[in-house]
């Protein structure tokens, strides 16, 4: 596995620097993405994220549940912000890890990374209106504990786009309703806006999984999830069927996903 640093001025170097960055400023506002890609780059899979000192990374972070108080809502949004950070980093990681994937696929990863970084800013601004800031609450690098075990582009989109991001379609709707019930209309609309954009990210996963494997079926998708991940973690309750259908899932897939239970 090649661990060489990519050439300066390339997308690969941008991805490398973003994952490696150790300040909040670099994570939340990285330099603009270049337009130049490396010629024939090696696979670089060993890179792991830098962490700003302000982020309190724990092996097990507190569950996010309550939304009644400003602090509890800030904590929930802080967790979601960290999910966006990890997603942005992992899109950059995949650009480096899968250099032989179609160029259109890798360009799509870059666009999604940029979306996730923008979402981080949206969350950060509302957290500040609630009297807190990024770094006030502990976080867990759960995505990083699992996703780098993906060994192919197919496995990556199965886990991220069709898995973790698709579950956000349910979680965004659930928490928007909770924020609204707590009287925080701005947080509710924020969550709905980000949830709407996540549909495009899931659609990217559905499109490329189908193209890379020859079709999208529940059985094929489940087979590409790296152990110990399972469909149980890739859905909320109830399924947001309308959003998932718009993202490219079929009714039969959703029926199987809804009915799936561990053996």
pLDDT at residue 41, rounded to an integer: 96
Tokens of 237: 């309750």
Torsional sign, CA 82, 155, 216, 108 = positive
Report the alpha-carbon distance of residue 263 to residue 25 in Å, rounded: 45
Which tokens belong to 20?
A: 């490696």
Tell which residue, 213, 238, 220, 190, has the closest CA to residue 73.
190
Instruction: Check pLDDT > 80 for residue 1.
Output: no
- Residue 27: which residues within 8 A CB-CB, separation 6 or more? 18, 21, 52, 85, 117, 120
Residue tagged 């010629």 (tokens): 39
Q: pLDDT at position 246, please?
A: 98
Length of the chain equals: 263
∠ at Cα 73 (70, 77), nearest 5°? 135
Average pLDDT over residues 237-241: 97
The two three-digit tokens of residue 57, written as one number = 């990374």
pLDDT bucket at 3, cuts 50 / 70 / 90: confident
The stretch 57-74 carries a mean pLDDT of: 85
Q: Which residues contact 171 (CB under 8 A, 6 or more apart)?
A: 236
pLDDT at 64 over 70: no
Give the pLDDT band (50/70/90) at residue 263: confident
Location of structure tokens 């991001």: 165
Q: pLDDT band for position 83 (50/70/90)?
A: very high
> Angle formed by the axes of helices 11-20 and 103-129, to 10°?
40
- Chain center to CA of 169: 12
Q: Work out the angle between the directed axes of helices 103-129 and 185-213 (0-180°, nearest 10).
A: 170
Tell me which H or E stretch contains 126.
helix 103-129
Mean pLDDT of 29-35: 95
Q: Is the pLDDT of residue 240 over 60?
A: yes
**Burial group, residue 45, by CB count within 10 angstroms (0-12, 13-18, 19+):** middle
Q: Which two tokens stand for residue 201?
A: 């990210």
Mean pLDDT of the chain: 96
Contact between residue 201 and residue 236 where contact means Cβ atoms under 8 Å apart: no
Q: What is the pLDDT of residues 109-155, one digit of tens each?
A: 999 999 999 999 999 999 999 999 999 999 999 999 999 999 999 99
Number of CB atoms found within 10 A of residue 239's CB: 18
Nearest to 227 by CA among 155, 171, 169, 177: 155
Task: Compute the distance between CA of residue 120 and CA of residue 49 in angstroms, rounded to an integer.
Answer: 16
């Amino acid at each position: 596995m090649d661990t060489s640093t990519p050439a300066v001025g390339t997308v690969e170097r941008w991805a490398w620097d973003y994952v490696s960055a150790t300040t909040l400023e670099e994570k939340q506002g990285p330099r603009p993405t270049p337009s130049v890609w490396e010629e024939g780059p090696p696979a670089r899979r060993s890179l792991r994220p830098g962490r700003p000192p302000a982020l309190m990374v724990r092996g097990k972070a507190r569950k996010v549940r309550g939304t009644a108080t400003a602090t509890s809502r800030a904590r929930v949004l802080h967790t979601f912000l960290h999910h966006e950070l990890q997603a942005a980093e992992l899109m950059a990681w995949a650009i480096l890890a899968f250099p032989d994937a179609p160029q259109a696929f890798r360009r799509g990863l870059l666009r999604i990374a940029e979306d996730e970084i923008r979402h981080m800013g949206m969350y950060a601004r509302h957290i500040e209106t609630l009297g807190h800031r990024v770094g006030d609450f502990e976080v867990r690098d759960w995505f990083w504990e699992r996703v780098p075990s993906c060994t192919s582009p197919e496995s990556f989109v199965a886990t991220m786009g069709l898995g973790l991001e698709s579950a956000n379609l349910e979680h965004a709707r659930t928490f928007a309703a909770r924020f609204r019930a707590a009287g925080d209309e701005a947080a509710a609309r924020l969550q709905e806006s980000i949830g709407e954009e996540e549909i495009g990210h899931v659609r990217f996963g559905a499109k490329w999984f189908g193209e890379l494997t020859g079709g999208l079926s529940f059985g094929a998708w489940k087979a590409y999830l790296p152990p110990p991940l399972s469909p149980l973690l890739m859905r909320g309750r109830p399924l947001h069927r309308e959003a998932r259908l718009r993202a490219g899932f079929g009714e039969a897939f959703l029926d199987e996903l809804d009915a799936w239970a561990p053996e």
